[in-house]
Structure 1
Amino acid sequence: MKKQISLLQFSLVLSASPVLLAETVSPANAVDMNPVVVTGTKSEKLLSDSPVKTEVVTREDIKANHARDVKEALEDIPGLMLKRIHGKSGYEVWLQGLDSNRVKVLIDGEPVAASTGSSVDVTQISSLDIERIEVVKGATSALYGSSAMGGVINIITRPADQGVHYEALAEGSSYGEDNPDGAAAKFAAGRLNGRISSGTSQWYSVLNLDVRTSEGFDATPGTWTTEGAEGERYSAGGRLGWTPTETQRYEIYADLYKEDLNSQTIANTGGKIIPKIKDEDADRIRLGGRFNVDSNSGQWKGSLFRESFENDTYQDIVSTADKEDHRSAEFETRRTTLEWSNLVWEEHFLTSGLEYFYESLEQFKEGVAEVDPGTDRQSIEWFIQDDLFLTDKLEVIPGIRWQHDSGFGNYVAPKLNLRQEITKAGSWNLFTRAGVGRGYRVPNLKERYYIFDHSQIGYMVQGNSDLEPESSNSLQLGFGANNGKGAYVDINFFYNDITDLIETAFSHTDSDNVAIYSYINIAEAETRGVELSAAYPLNPQWRINGGYTFLESEDKRTGLTLPNRPRHQIKAGIKYQHPEWLTELLLNGVYQSEEYTDETNSLESPDWSTLDIKLSQPVYGTFTVFGGIDNVTDTQRDFSQADRDKRPEEGRFFYLGLRVEG
């Protein structure tokens, strides 16, 4: 019976409309510690039943933590590191010691273009329309191709509701003494958003709008430079769906993101300090359509997707009337997919898919092309995966992925995952899971052609058209136990071995004394370690959870530790809910050990810890007042040693808000 349920779950979810799915999610399910996941296998499974190691952030987690964007939603995932993007105002995701260049970020399975370098800025993605986030670690899944060597972040949007439902939120926040004007008691940042959804048995629609503003923050008063960018971020989106029958669903969608940020910097030219304002403008448009059809021959699923991303930067010298050093870049991504899934011979749940991918890049400086129009790459990829139970307790998922890239030819990556139920001890179910996979990443267009100009802080990175692809071997071995009542323990050992790793290396110094770097295939590296996570409800009001990660990394050329990878990380949380007032209190803490900040292991950033306090109180039925203090300990880096100090940039942060739902 368990085998049939596990293999048929995907058929059920494809044949159900989002309206029907919304009806099945009750508040009790929303806080379930064992939610349904799909990213690791493309079939619906309980989290504890997934053979592919997966972490989940639910909608309830996002609301309880008052997360404004994906960065804040991911902060409590064990083993996941969020790092400031160098020279930019956003954050990127690292998994198991592999940096963001090797982590694939998806929204409903569609890729998000890198906003800078090869990194996706996860602060650009608002949390308003997120149902859950699924994090798959390592390169063991056959469902994802190039750029997923370190893992996958799949952001799954919220379903429409039966009838008409709405949600609105207003929030004000302060950096305290780091407010730019030094007025600690004023709101220096804010957020406004709203969502409305409606649905019938055949039609549904969703509209979202999110606005975030900030005056930035200044941790170095008395100097020209500011550390936090000032400006606005806007997100808007909508979906329209049609479900003519219980076995068909068709949907079109559009999402828009816009940001206008600026920060104060200085340039040292010939020993002379020149104050500058750095402007960053970004526009992202995502358009697409998809369908799900359940037929006698199986479940068919297809999509058409297009994303355009434009990025403009200025380095404006304050003493002049004009804006100088204007660079603009335009990226376009197109993706077409077709997938088929079916239960075969009552034992094998086969999934196969075909994908066409296209991306192009253009870059201009002062209107003159630095990367010529027509610079592009294309790929065709095919995968097949079999999900079968060899016994009632042993599930095995073999898979293989083939990729043909226009610049690098063919590559085949085999994968294998399994899950074995061990025994039942009282109310606890004990199991083990394992995965092995070959990872592969072709150099993206930015690494091959783009110019990252940070000359205002003394360096520039130039693309290299002669780069070769990276490859890796990923191993995952885990043991877990859960009691079906919200308590679980999970331990996972991991090993990632990478060859032809693409890194930046010093090339020369130009006539303006700017250090020029370039991408080259010089590195062979490995990361290995163990991740431990657990949660336990002490009673209906109190729950504790935590995670510990031990990470070792090695540059195999030198035997030294890879930079920016702390050996120890601890994350812990306590949640309390009053049974009558429904008051909700969260305490979240993070500890991170020292980390080397250079390749020679001669510079070391200090260890650090932070504590966040979050409080929510429902009032007057549909209204909820919420507030909190992030980084209560006011842990902050020394900005005079920014190259070696990797502690948090933001200091203590206060906020207060009101949410209404109906």
Structure 2
Amino acid sequence: MDTITKNNQNFLLVAQSESRDIITGDSQQDKKESSVKIQQNHYQLKGVVATGSTLQSDVTKIPGNMSVVDSKSIMTMPNTKITDTIKRLPGVRIDNDVSFNPRPKVKIRGINYGTLLMLDGVILSDLEGESRILNQISLYDVERVEVARGSFASLYGTGAIGGVVNFITSMPNKFETTFITGYGNELVKGQGDQNTFKIYGSIGSAFFDKRFKVKLSAGYTRGDMEAGFPTYFANGDNTAQNSGLSGYYVDNAGQTIIGTGGRRKLQTYDIRLKTSYDISENDTISAMLSFSNHYYRFSGYTSFLKDSQGNPTDLICLTDKPYKNYFIGSGLGGIGSYSHLLGNLNYIHDFEDSTLKIAFSTMNLFSWWQDADRDNANNPGTINGGAGKTQDTNSSSNYLDIIYQDNHFDNHRVSAALQFRYYKYAQDQRYMTNWLDKNTRTDSYRNFGNDALVASAYINVDSQWLDSLSTNIGLRYDFWQNFNGYFYNQEALSQNTTNEENRLSVFSPKFGINYKPLSTNTQNLIFKASIGTGFRMPTMRDKYQFTHASNYWDINPNLKHESALSFDIGTEYTLDSKILQGQFTTSLYYFQIELRDMIYREGSGDENNPWKFINAGRGRILGIEYAFSIPLFLEGLTLDGNYTLTRAIVLKNPTKPTTEGKQIPATPLHSFNLSLNFMSHAPSGFYSSLWAFYVPAFYNNDLNSTPLRNTYGYYEDQFSLNLKIGYRFHNGLDISVSFYNMTNYRYYDFYQVAGVSAYAQLGYKF
């Protein structure tokens, strides 16, 4: 069986709910299997019976392209962090994916900020559109990852017009404890991640005939990560000749490179407590609480500069400026800390032929970042202290979901929900007298924020008309209210606003149909099609992105929401073959998304043509997602691959007609993944995975200028080869070694990726 289930065969997603968190505890399943009062469906897929709660859907009825990454794949493939589990799936891209990026951006089908990310059903995105928590979550705590693409994904609401990713953590069915630790380092000096250390532990059990379950887990990561960018003269100081220095060079974009920015010395930790309790045969309550943090500090920059006597230096003096150290205060380095408090509380009651679920969840961010102010005339920042600037960001996202599912009818299932959201976001940028001391903050020079209240309702009907024919009909309504919006900028007082507010009322209908003309013990063929609408509100980062280092930005607080009409059609085929010693699967999907008031990034990011998020009149994203898994005549050995075509173009843009017909920036036209996997079905034995991906060069601006090689800020041809080899013993011991970027090809994905490294891991599960 292919461990990354590409053709939807094991997808267990809650029926069309924005808070679709899965009932993963086995006690819920045990209870329902023993109860005669609850309608239960069993579906035989790939030789596995998928038995879930009544809030789950038969995967063969879900319209659109779905994927699941199971626990075996997560543990046996060469993953370094949680986002690695999904970036090899068709249609999925992680933007600017460098080492432990503290702010990973997941894109599905080319839509910026159009992917909703969840952990155990809790939405991780905030008003800023960021998911800083994502790479704080311990990789080893995740049991399954579910990815939904297409129109029905937008039943989650705003932010899901491209798709949804739900990371699901495990729960025990008996007493179990896990311990995992490992160490990794670069294999070519100065080019890869150094001194990576990880440790993870969990303990959990089930009590009272498995009615009460509890699990406590914690993960910690430390390392010196490759920064992925050079340091160069910023703010127009690109005339190194005037400084009397040598050793610098000018790259392909005309940027003066004076050295490397050093390494991101980071540490992350993630602590999580999960519980569930079956109060009665018909009532279950569950809860989760977690706290996580990502702290980093840049150090170890390397200067290429030499003074007039040929001595190494990191200080620069131009004719009209005092000496400065350009390796600090660029806006790319500094010190940062992102903390998250996350929790949810769920109650489920099963009636005789229906189910009610009430869920409350909250996600809170407390973060700060600080860097030197090298332009301060009275107290310029130095490597040892001095003036600085800081950015403090706090946000709170709170959710209440009331979901009802009716199963009275043999061939129809009705789901309905009321959902309420309250968001709060504030960012304060201040001066500091000592950028190394967080207690030296003084006056604000820029701050902004916003509150939002969202009330939503949806209804969805799944109908089985014939054994081979089913449909899905859904309708969602959202009322979005922004209020208490403000913006203050000491450097541009004319931009300042207070008490900003606006309202939005949106209906989003959906329709899907599945037809299965062939279904036998050895073969399954299914055709799927779906169409629906959705919308996305502009994020705070869309509106307020500021210049840092050489990345020049203009703000746009007047952005409008974008609307999407999404359509996809596809087919999936499965064949159990005794000759091939396994199951052959393949799928092919065509998707098309028509965008109105599309939000995209215009400009080139330089001083004369800064980047800026704007609304284009119309945009279109269309493409193909193809995937296959082929068994190779040996049980457990498969060749898996996929190809994605994403043609994302500006159709009409009255504000900038020269961009019409151009590919949307930072969106690759093609991507390829191929992996050779061996995973024994036995509980012990050898396993391995060799994975390669390739992406041709693509554009970094809306005029589609030719991508430059070996240049910071550009997207050149990308190739990476990764390997993991391990062995599981009967006693629960697991030993493995992984190699990342084995060819040491350090391509630019905006930033430069880390070179070849190795990582050895030891795990034990009892």
Shift of 1:364: 1.2
The answer as to 2:568 corresponding to 1:476 is: yes
| Distance across 1 between alignment mates of 2:750 and 2:115 | 21
Shift of 1:374: 7.3
| Structure 2: gaps spanning 5 or more residues | 1-10, 16-20, 33-42, 231-246, 248-257, 304-314, 373-380, 431-441, 482-501, 577-581, 653-659, 708-714
Shift of 1:80: 1.2
Distance verdict in 2 for CA 1:231–1:115, change over 3 Å: farther
| Distance across 2 between alignment mates of 1:8 and 1:607 | 35
Aligned residue number for residue 314 of structure 1:
370
Shift of 1:625: 0.6
| Distance across 2 between alignment mates of 1:393 and 1:336 | 37
| Distance across 2 between alignment mates of 1:178 and 1:116 | 38
- More deviation, 290-299/317-326: 317-326
Aligned residue number for residue 38 of structure 2:
none
Shift of 1:226: 3.3
- More deviation, 617-626/230-239: 617-626
| Distance across 2 between alignment mates of 1:7 and 1:189 | 34
Aligned residue number for residue 261 of structure 1:
296
Shift of 1:129: 2.1
Preserved CA contact (<8 Å) 1:15 1:294: no
Shift of 1:575: 1.4
Deviations 1:117-136 (A, max 9, x none): 54556323322221211111
- More deviation, 611-620/285-294: 611-620
Indicate the SS of the match to 2:72: helix
Shift of 1:244: 1.9
Indicate the SS of the match to 2:203: strand
For residues 558-637 of structure 1, the aligned pairs below 5 Å read: 558-577=660-679, 582-604=685-707, 605-619=715-729, 621-637=731-747
Aligned residue number for residue 94 of structure 1:
107
Aligned residue number for residue 375 of structure 1:
450
Q: Name the % identity.
A: 17
Deviations 1:201-220 (A, max 9, x none): 32111111000111122678
Aligned residue number for residue 5 of structure 2:
none
Indicate the SS of the match to 2:583: coil
| Distance across 2 between alignment mates of 1:66 and 1:525 | 36
For residues 490-529 of structure 1, the aligned pairs below 5 Å read: 490-505=587-602, 518-529=612-623
| Distance across 2 between alignment mates of 1:16 and 1:194 | 20
Shift of 1:454: 4.4
Distance verdict in 2 for CA 1:574–1:227, change over 3 Å: farther
Deviations 1:469-509 (A, max 9, x none): 11011111001111255321110001111111223456999
The answer as to 2:182 corresponding to 1:175 is: no
Deviations 1:114-161 (A, max 9, x none): 596545563233222212111111233463100101111111221222
Deviations 1:581-635 (A, max 9, x none): 7111111111112212221111224323221111111246221111111111112
Q: Which has the higher contact order (CA 8 A, sep 6+)?
A: 2
The one of 269, 294, 299 equivalent to 1:234 is: 269
Preserved CA contact (<8 Å) 1:34 1:486: no
Indicate the SS of the match to 2:643: strand
- More deviation, 396-405/138-147: 138-147
Indicate the SS of the match to 2:367: strand
The one of 546, 549, 554 equivalent to 2:649 is: 554
Distance verdict in 2 for CA 1:174–1:116, change over 3 Å: farther
Shift of 1:573: 1.1
Structure having the higher strand fraction is: 1
TM-score (norm 1): 0.86
Deviations 1:626-650 (A, max 9, x none): 1111111112126xxxxxx648612
Distance verdict in 2 for CA 1:110–1:173, change over 3 Å: same
| Distance across 2 between alignment mates of 1:60 and 1:349 | 32
Deviations 1:349-380 (A, max 9, x none): 00011100011111112255577787301110
The answer as to 2:639 corresponding to 1:544 is: yes
The one of 201, 204, 218 equivalent to 1:209 is: 218
Aligned residue number for residue 514 of structure 2:
419
Distance verdict in 2 for CA 1:371–1:19, change over 3 Å: farther
Aligned residue number for residue 65 of structure 1:
77
Aligned residue number for residue 661 of structure 1:
765
Residue 213 of structure 1 aligns to which amino acid in structure 2? Answer: R
The answer as to 2:58 corresponding to 1:45 is: yes
Shift of 1:441: 1.2
Preserved CA contact (<8 Å) 1:528 1:553: yes
Residue 214 of structure 2 aligns to which amino acid in structure 1? Answer: S
Indicate the SS of the match to 1:62: helix
Distance verdict in 2 for CA 1:376–1:614, change over 3 Å: same
| Structure 1: gaps spanning 5 or more residues | 1-5, 639-644
Preserved CA contact (<8 Å) 1:16 1:247: no
| Distance across 1 between alignment mates of 2:743 and 2:22 | 47
| Distance across 2 between alignment mates of 1:138 and 1:228 | 39
Aligned residue number for residue 584 of structure 2:
487
The answer as to 2:201 corresponding to 1:194 is: yes
Residue 547 of structure 1 aligns to which amino acid in structure 2? Answer: N
Shift of 1:178: 4.7
Indicate the SS of the match to 2:457: strand
Aligned length in residues:
631
Residue 283 of structure 1 aligns to which amino acid in structure 2? Answer: S
Preserved CA contact (<8 Å) 2:391 2:429: yes
The one of 128, 139, 149 equivalent to 1:127 is: 139
Residue 67 of structure 1 aligns to which amino acid in structure 2? Answer: N
Preserved CA contact (<8 Å) 1:525 1:554: yes
The answer as to 2:588 corresponding to 1:532 is: no
Distance verdict in 2 for CA 1:150–1:376, change over 3 Å: same
Aligned residue number for residue 336 of structure 1:
400
| Distance across 2 between alignment mates of 1:584 and 1:314 | 44
The one of 270, 274, 290 equivalent to 2:326 is: 274
Distance verdict in 2 for CA 1:416–1:49, change over 3 Å: closer
Deviations 1:314-334 (A, max 9, x none): 113434524610110110111
| Distance across 1 between alignment mates of 2:168 and 2:104 | 20
| Distance across 2 between alignment mates of 1:232 and 1:518 | 32
Residue 509 of structure 2 aligns to which amino acid in structure 1? Answer: P
TM-score (norm 2): 0.75
Residue 420 of structure 2 aligns to which amino acid in structure 1? Answer: Y
